[in-house]
Amino acid sequence: MDYEYDYKLERYKSYIKLRNKYIDHQYDQGKQFDQYIFLLSSGAFGVSFSFISEIVKEPIAETNRFLIFAWVLIICSIMFSLISYIFNNLDYEKRILIEDIKYRNEQCDNLLKEKIPLNRFNGIAGIINIINLVLLLGGFALLLIYVASNILGGTNA
């Protein structure tokens, strides 16, 4: 029984499984991203436009700034979603590269081993996602203030 061969075979299977998992996550993220962007943008703008046209025909002028700032924050959130998507893809590409290097390093002697690079994309994507969430929640909060101000303070309801 060749234990070294068995170990290398199991290590190769483990490497391929992890590498394929990263590729699958990257693919799934891309699929979900499109759905998220369309849902976010159409939902927020659709609700605010229908509110203006159907419920409050003449909004209180002083509340328009809430609506404008809400739209700006929601648009910024959408832009940060795009940026986050890019950094998440870079993160998965870097993870795959790191696993490739780790596997190759196990197959050669010490003189030929490659240096494993740092993966900073994951941390950057996390920060961008937090900013995105704050922008989105801020935009929704301003939309709620706008809606409440016009329903409670308006004469159009």
Residue 27, both tokens: 């693919």
Specify whether the CB–CB gap between 18 and 99 falls below 8 A.
yes
| pTM metric for this prediction | 0.70
Sequence-ordered list of residues with C-beta below 8 angstroms from that of 135, at least 6 positions apart, any chain: 73, 74, 76, 77, 80
Split at pLDDT 50, 70, 90, the class of 157 is very low
What pLDDT sits at residue 142?
93
Domain ranges (residues) in the chain: 3-153
Q: Using CA of residue 146, residue 152, residue 156, residue 157, what is the dihedral sign?
A: positive
Q: In this predicted model, what pLDDT tens digit does every residue of 37-56 receive, in sequence order?
A: 667 766 777 777 777 777 77
Q: In this predicted model, what pLDDT tens digit does every residue of 86-142 receive, in sequence order?
A: 888 898 889 888 888 888 888 777 767 788 888 898 889 889 888 988 998 899 899
Q: Using CA of residue 105, residue 106, residue 107, residue 112, what is the dihedral sign?
A: positive
CA dist., res. 36 & res. 40, Å (int): 6
